[in-house]
Amino acid sequence: MNDPASYTAFANDRKIASGPLADLLRQTRRHLEQFPDSAILIFEDHSGKQVDFDLSGTLEQVLARALPPQPPARRGRPKLGVVSREISLLPRHWEWLEQQPVGASATLRRMIDEARKQGSAHENARRAAEATDRLMSALAGNRPGYEEAARALYAGDRAGFCALIEAWPEDIRTYLHQRSLEAFSPAEPTDR
């Protein structure tokens, strides 16, 4: 099963909330009640994409608009998140699948999971760097050293990246350190 998405909200240079969407929206609404003129930026942590929510109205209204409605219970294995779709294979592929000790679906799921696990470390680092750059662009795109920090990020230069963002506001710097960990080679130290 997939973990629920995690989000982080900033008001100007300060991190005000982080966590699952419902919790984040509750904390963000609380912040807006105290500081109604705050400029809020909300990010989906894994992708680094900025997301917008209509934060007007009551908390219940905000949650109703932002959270997807629960789908009605359906047949099958909904707790596992199984989705049935059609695939087309050559006869030799079907023959091979039929010879496996578990069913065709289970065999295909295992093969896909294994391929995902063995995904290239380079590809994972590239995706993490892109997500970090999206965050960095939105939070610090106008700050001194942004372009140099982006170059260091894509070059895999963790020490250079850390040095270049050192003068940025603490919450932004800490968030970028945290989100950039996967962008750098696992062989490099990750002491931050």
**Residue 54 near residue 15 (C-beta atoms within 8 A):** no
For 2-6, 47-51, 60-64, 90-94, which range has the lowest pLDDT when averaged over its residues? 2-6
Say how far residue 188 (Cα) sits from the centre of its chain: 22
Tokens encoding 82: 């199984």
Confidence of residue 77 (pLDDT cuts 50, 70, 90): low
**Residue 98 near residue 104 (C-beta atoms within 8 A):** yes
The answer, yes or no, to whether residue 181 has pLDDT greater than 90, is yes
pLDDT, position 3: 56
**Residue 55 near residue 66 (C-beta atoms within 8 A):** no
pTM: 0.74
Query: Rg of the chain's alpha carbons, rounded to an integer?
Result: 21
Amino acid at 75: R
CA–CA separation, 127 and 124 (whole Å): 5
